[in-house]
Amino acid sequence: MDYLYFPGCTLYTKAKNFDQTARNCSLLLGFELKELPNWTCCGATFPLATDNLMALLPPARILASAREQGTVLTTLCAVCFNVIKRTNRLFQEDGEKRDKINNFIEKNYQGDLRVVHYLEILKQEVGFPQLKERVKRPLTGLRAAPYYGCMLLRPFEEMEFDDKERPTIFEGFLEALGAKVVEFPYKIECCGSFQSVGSPDVATECAYKILGSAMKNGAEVVVSTCPMCTFNIDHKQSDIKQKYLDFKTIPVLYFTQLLGIAMGLDHRTLGFEQNFVDPLPLLKGKGLV
């Protein structure tokens, strides 16, 4: 089956490695990501003010245009997923707002699209046991910490993604790849999000706590589902190092990059040059590249 795919702007620029690895892996797994034509940015944050619908227009347009092409829409970026899925819920549940927005964008979208995250496709459509069988290069001995962040999970009544305090889908995925899952208490804590623009020092502190906790529990690599998380916990490690002199860096990979390694893709196609902390020494040491 093919999936309509909304990449989002960051996956076209600073997170090409996320986009490319997902596309390549899906072909190996027997499905294709069909990019939505003429998409725009989703707005990068679900608007929390309830008295102004303007900020809902971009995701509403994305949904309406996707519905003209198909019935299932998938994303990789956890923030896009959150914005689009929550907007879809609003279309399903609030008829008044739905009509108002439809009138404004001159569409007639009824909320009848299924919005799924790539991880959900791997779990529900491919199946983790089947995925495991297709792994060519098991990540044996690699201690990986699944970093969920917030946007996949919350608000859990609307996202319906996983348990709000003890999610397991990411662990199931890593186990299917043969990795050793590292449990750590900060896996659903926020990385500081857009505070990297508003109060960068605060975001640095959040990242330091998350990475410190992962390392203390034995992680060799932290795995991400979001280009914003990745910026905060990977690229900001240079800021952490400036503040905490004894801080040791740790590679942060997109889950699709790990999938690519496990599926046997050539490491030169995995876009490691966009990762801030170079994962190659670790992966070479483990015999994975």
Partner 1 sequence: MKIELTRQKVHNEFAKKVELISGQNLFACYQCGNCTAGCPISFAMEIGPHEAIRYTLLGLEEEVLGVNTFWLCASCLQCTSRCPKGIDIARVMDALRMVVLRRKERRDHIQISEFPEGFLEKVPQIAFISGFRKFLS
Structural contact between residues 167 and 188, judged by C-beta atoms closer than 8 angstroms: yes
**Binding-residue pattern over the window 71 to 100 for ligand SF4, x denoting contact by CB under 6 A:** ------xxxx--x-----------------
Residue 117's nearest CA partner among 128, 108, 125, 105 is 125
Cα separation, 109 vs 64, in Å, equals 5
Q: Could you tell me which residues come within 8 angstroms of residue 140 by beta carbon, excluding any fewer than 6 positions away?
A: 178, 179
Region of 67 please: left (phi>0), alpha (psi -120 to 50) or beta: alpha
Q: Is 10 in the site for ligand SF4 (CB under 6 A)?
A: yes
Please identify which residue in 60, 63, 179, 228 interacts with ligand SF4, judged by CB under 6 A: 228
Find the helix or strand (DSSP H, E) in which 115 lies.
strand 114-117
- Which of partner 1, ligand SF4, none does residue 240 bind to, with CB < 5 to 8 Å depending on kind? none
Q: Is 226 in the site for ligand SF4 (CB under 6 A)?
A: yes
Q: Is 7 in the site for partner 1 (CB under 8 A)?
A: no
Please identify which residue in 62, 214, 228, 252 interacts with partner 1, judged by CB under 8 A: 228
For 115-244, where are the alpha helices, taking DSSP H only?
118-120, 128-134, 156-159, 169-176, 195-198, 200-216, 227-230, 237-243
Binding site for partner 1 (CB under 8 A): 8-10, 13-15, 41, 43-45, 47-51, 55, 77, 79, 150, 154-156, 164, 188-190, 192-199, 202, 205-206, 209, 227-228, 231, 235
Binding site for ligand SF4 (CB under 6 A): 8-10, 41-44, 77-80, 83, 149-151, 190-191, 193, 226, 228-229
